Structure 1
Amino acid sequence: MTLNGIDDLDRRILAELQREARHVSSRDIADHVDASASTVRKRIQRLESEGIITQYAAQVDYEQAGYSLYVQITCTVPIPERSNRADAARDVDGVVGVRELATGERNVVVTVVCVDGDDLTRIAAELSDLGLTVLDEELIQSDRSLPFTGFGSEAIVDPE
């Protein structure tokens, strides 16, 4: 389904889910989007089944959880092997994100959490063993995500 296949109600529901998916019920969303709770539930089920909503994820403060290092590892992989190697990188213990870039030599970015330098060395070695050439390791100070406002900017309230 494309953006043309979703209507204004779908966009408002998506905006509400992005704002706070864990602590919002279909009744809460219905109150904000002027629809019934059953309509909201059916719409969410359709958005999930059509692959528009792909997951619900928790934001974790890794330092508070005991992982003192939050690192972005930039790699290069030959283009024909990029997708398979990026998928394989997801299985390395400590990897929390893998991003494939469409252009350039620096074409796979792996985000990891680890307890110390030895743990980081292990992760980098495992990535290397999978065929990813590590070009750079950068310590992440902080990472801020925002919901996409194109679904209905009036429905998204910045919590800060």
Structure 2
Amino acid sequence: MAVRELDDLDRAIVYALQENARKTSTSTIAERMDVAPSTVRTRIQALEADGVLTGYHAEIDYERTGLQLHTLLVCTAPVPEREELAERAQEVRGVVAVREVMTGQENVHIEAIGRDGDDLSRIGRELDEIGLTIEDEDLIRNEYETPYDGFNVASE
């Protein structure tokens, strides 16, 4: 994996998109950085092509959709199978995020959404069937994200 060095404009773009990709325009970033909007668009395309920007994701309030149970499942996978099992876990209906963790135990963290306890039980059974051992289950009340401040050129 090649590492791309980010200059001030790249960092400002990444930070602005982390803050709010949907409502951030190239013109706003261009004005803040004193460059042309076309320069920002070109940089965004290059950051996407280089794999620095890999997607833009909607934040969803699952509770407002009737999906009351937002759960974190902490699982263990045999280390040689961790990546494969994490990928297979994404196929389970109700799983919305999977993270591989670099530990021997509790090395796959899964976010799942369910309407009721039956949904969560089904998800648990399916994860067990593919070879994951569920170590812990926690209901998520709220989740907060913030952009990495190391990309905020205004704070330097």
> What interval of TM-score do these two structures reach, taking the shorter chain for normalisation?
over 0.9
Q: Deviations over 1:110-156 (max 9, x none)?
A: 1001000000000001111111011111111111111111111527x
Matching of residue 27 in structure 1 with residue 32 in structure 2: no
User: Per the alignment, in what secondary structure is the counterpart of residue 23 of structure 2?
Assistant: coil
User: How far is the alpha carbon of 1:2 from its aligned partner?
Assistant: 2.4
Unaligned residue ranges in structure 2 (runs of 5+) = none
Distance in structure 1 (CA, Å) of the matches to 2:79 and 2:19: 36
1:103 aligns with 2:94: no
Rounded Cα–Cα distance in structure 1 between residues aligned with 2:128 and 2:13: 42
Contact 1:71 1:137 in 2 (8 A): yes
The 8 Å contact of residues 10 and 43 in structure 1, kept in 2 or not, is answered as: yes
Which one-letter code corresponds to 2:121 in the other structure? T
**Residues 61 and 130 (structure 1), Cα distance of their counterparts in 2 relative to 1, 3 Å cut:** same
Provide runs of 4+ in structure 1 moved above 4 Å: none
Cα distance in structure 2, aligned partners of 1:59 and 1:38:
28
Match of 2:150 in 1: 150
What is the deviation of 1:23?
1.4
Does residue 57 of structure 1 match 2:63? Answer: no
Listed as ranges, the matches of 1:71-82 within 5 Å are 71-82=71-82
- Corresponding residue number in structure 2 for 1:158: none
Matches within 5 A, 1:117-128: 117-128=117-128
What is the total number of aligned residue pairs between the two structures? 154
Q: Deviations over 1:96-119 (max 9, x none)?
A: 110111013111111001000000
Distance 2:111 2:39 in 1: 38
- Conservation of the 8 A alpha-carbon contact between 1:73 and 1:110: yes
3-state secondary structure, aligned to 2:103: coil
- TM-score scaled by structure 2? 0.94
Q: RMSD in angstroms over aligned alpha carbons? A: 1.2
Structure 1's unaligned 5+ residue stretches are: 156-160
The question of 1:36 aligning with 2:36 is answered yes
For the 8 Å contact 2:79–2:104, the answer to whether it is kept is no
